[in-house]
Structures are given as C-alpha cells and as structure tokens.
Amino acid sequence: MLSKNEDAHRLREQTFVLSDFLAQVDYRFPALKRKALVRGHCHQKAAFDIDSETTLLSRMGIKAELLDSGYLLSKKNGGGGTRETEDRLAH
C-alpha cells in the first residue's frame, strides 16, 4: 500500500516481534524439556515468520510440533478447527 513511502520503509525495517529480539540476544531461558504443539498467529505468519519462536523453544529444550492450521478455534466457539488438530490437542 505504501510501497513508495520512505517513512513506511523505515518503520518496516525497525519493526519486529519480541521473539525475534529474544532469539538474537544471548539469554538462556530455563530448560523445560517438554513437547509442545505450536500454532503461529495468522497475522504474524503473514507479516513475519515463526522461526524465532521455534528457535527459542528449542533453546529451552522444547520439542515443538508446528500445526499447519491457519488458526485454531474449537467448534464449540464457532471456529473451524480441523478434527485432526482437535485430536492432537486432546492427547
């Protein structure tokens, strides 16, 4: 939308999510040694990526399995979660 706006370009270069920042600093989080299902936020996946989240989880000893759903809403909340995703979350 603002592809020719210099201010928009500068702002884009200075915008990041917290996980991007934390993935770049030399801080060690407590080790949790667990498994986790991870669903990236649809807006975050569209504007950035979720690589930094998986990097942080790995540093903490968490074996993350990324869900491929766009967003997960249970049927009782009127959402469109898939049966496979609902089954995986139940276990």
Residues 17-58 have pLDDT tens digits of 888 888 888 888 889 999 998 887 776 666 677 888 888 899
Asked if residue 3 is part of any domain, the answer here is no
> For the whole prediction, is pTM greater than 0.75?
no
Asked if residue 86 is part of any domain, the answer here is yes
Average pLDDT score, the chain: 76
Average pLDDT (67-75) is 55
Q: How far is CA 10 from CA 5, 23, 48, 62, 84, in A?
A: 9, 22, 16, 35, 42
Outline where the chain has alpha helix (H).
6-13, 18-24, 42-47, 51-59, 83-90
For the chain, what is the domain count?
Answer: 1
Q: For residues 10 and 30, give the distance between their C-alpha atoms in angstroms, rounded to a whole number.
A: 35
Q: Which domain holds residue 16?
A: 10-90
Average pLDDT (51-78) is 74
Asked if residue 4 is part of any domain, the answer here is no
Asked if residue 2 is part of any domain, the answer here is no
